[in-house]
Amino acid sequence: MSKSNNFNMLGILSIIFAMFIWGSSFIALKSAMVDLGEFTVIFFRMLIASACFLYFIKDFIKYNFTKKDIKFIVLLAFFEPCLYFIFEAKAMIYTSASQAGMITSLMPIITAMAAGYFLKEIISRQLIFGSLIATFGAIWLSVQATTTASAPNPLLGNFLEFCAMFCAAGYTIVARYLANRYSAIFITAIQAFIGAIFFLPFFIYEYTTTDMNFTSTAIGWLFYLGIIVTLGGYGLYNFALTKIDASKASMFIYLIPIFTLILAFVLLKETLSATELIASITILSGVILSQLKFKKLKRIRVKKV
């Protein structure tokens, strides 16, 4: 095997593992929120991630920030982590980790539609058709979802997760502008710093008004979210981008709901009914259809002899 192929394989393995880590974030959130409040979990996740990024501050202060850049940085953090994690944390109270993971597969479609409107990127008929199929599957999944102790209101929970995906799309649009001036490490770090400050009052209020239990298991999940999910997943994904094309890397995002489904079944004992499973497959089919490119078949003229 050539050196180039080895690097490609290393990149593919890295991005698959990154998707596995990101898929496990729903399990970690659900598990941590058994003993802790949702905003407490988010605050400590941001705080732990911020502590990890302190090493890079010397590099960050070298940037020349313009007023326009500062506005976009604030807008970036407003979308994610601020609004994004509020919606996602609330979603995990009402729906299951497996269903929330399925709703995340709509994020590339929402981003593409937003890019078409704000960045004037071309929106194909195929994208629209795939979006309609995926959206139908998401609605079907939510309506047919079974109410359980861990998912008391899946319709509301899935809607909140859907709102989180809109915030993620807004973040992506803003990040495209900032990526031309700042490194990916800085963009991720500034999200963690602002997120820790933003969620501090929420944590203080929740800590003084809600009974919580900082068990060793809950603390372990907090460190997992702050270090493994934020730094590990991010590091592996960016390493993979140095080995394979970004267009190919984006297709691996669709592994997230699959990994979430498997982990939710193994660790949280969550299950999907046959109808919910079909609805999930419908979502993934619509998303994949919207992203695939089909070449037009050319007619071959046969010469008469």
Say if residue 164's pLDDT is above 60: yes
Say if residue 1's pLDDT is above 70: no
pLDDT for the residue 179: 78
Instruction: Look up residue 180 and give its two tokens.
Output: 């031309």
Q: What are phi and psi of 8, to 5 degrees?
A: -65, -45
| In-domain check, residue 227 | yes
Tens-digit pLDDT profile for residues 9-48: 888 888 889 889 988 998 999 999 999 999 999 999 999 9
Q: How far is CA 5 from the centre of its chain?
A: 29
pLDDT top residue among 296 and 239? 239
| In-domain check, residue 38 | yes
Lowest-pLDDT range of 65-74, 97-106, 229-238: 229-238
Instruction: Look up residue 179 and give its two tokens.
Output: 């990526």
Q: What are phi and psi of 204, to 5 degrees?
A: -60, -45
Confidence label for 119 from pLDDT (cuts 50, 70 and 90): low
Give the mean model confidence (pLDDT) for residues 257-265.
85
Q: For residues 138 and 58, is the Cβ–Cβ distance under 8 A? A: no
Confidence label for 121 from pLDDT (cuts 50, 70 and 90): low
Per the structure, the complete domain to which residue 192 belongs is given by 3-291
Dump the DSSP string for 178-208.
HTTTS-HHHHHHHHHHHHHHHHHHHHHHHHH
pLDDT for the residue 212: 93
30: Cβ–Cβ under 8 A, 6 or more apart, which residues?
A: 92, 96, 97, 150, 264, 268
pLDDT top residue among 203 and 288? 203
Lowest-pLDDT range of 79-83, 182-186, 294-298: 294-298
CA–CA distances in Å: residue 174 to residues 72, 113, 274: 7, 14, 39
Mean pLDDT value across the chain: 83
pLDDT for the residue 215: 96
Residue that is written with structure tokens 């809950």 in the block: 218
Residue that is written with structure tokens 């999944």 in the block: 141
Tell me if the pTM is above 0.85.
Answer: no
| In-domain check, residue 300 | no
| In-domain check, residue 136 | yes
Give me the number of domains the chain comprises: 1
| In-domain check, residue 305 | no
CA distance 189 to 167: 18
| In-domain check, residue 301 | no
pLDDT top residue among 254 and 82? 82
Say if residue 208's pLDDT is above 80: yes
CA distance 265 to 252: 21
Q: Is 17 exposed, middle or buried (0-12, 13-18, 19+ CB in 10 A)?
A: middle
Q: How many residues does the chain have?
A: 305
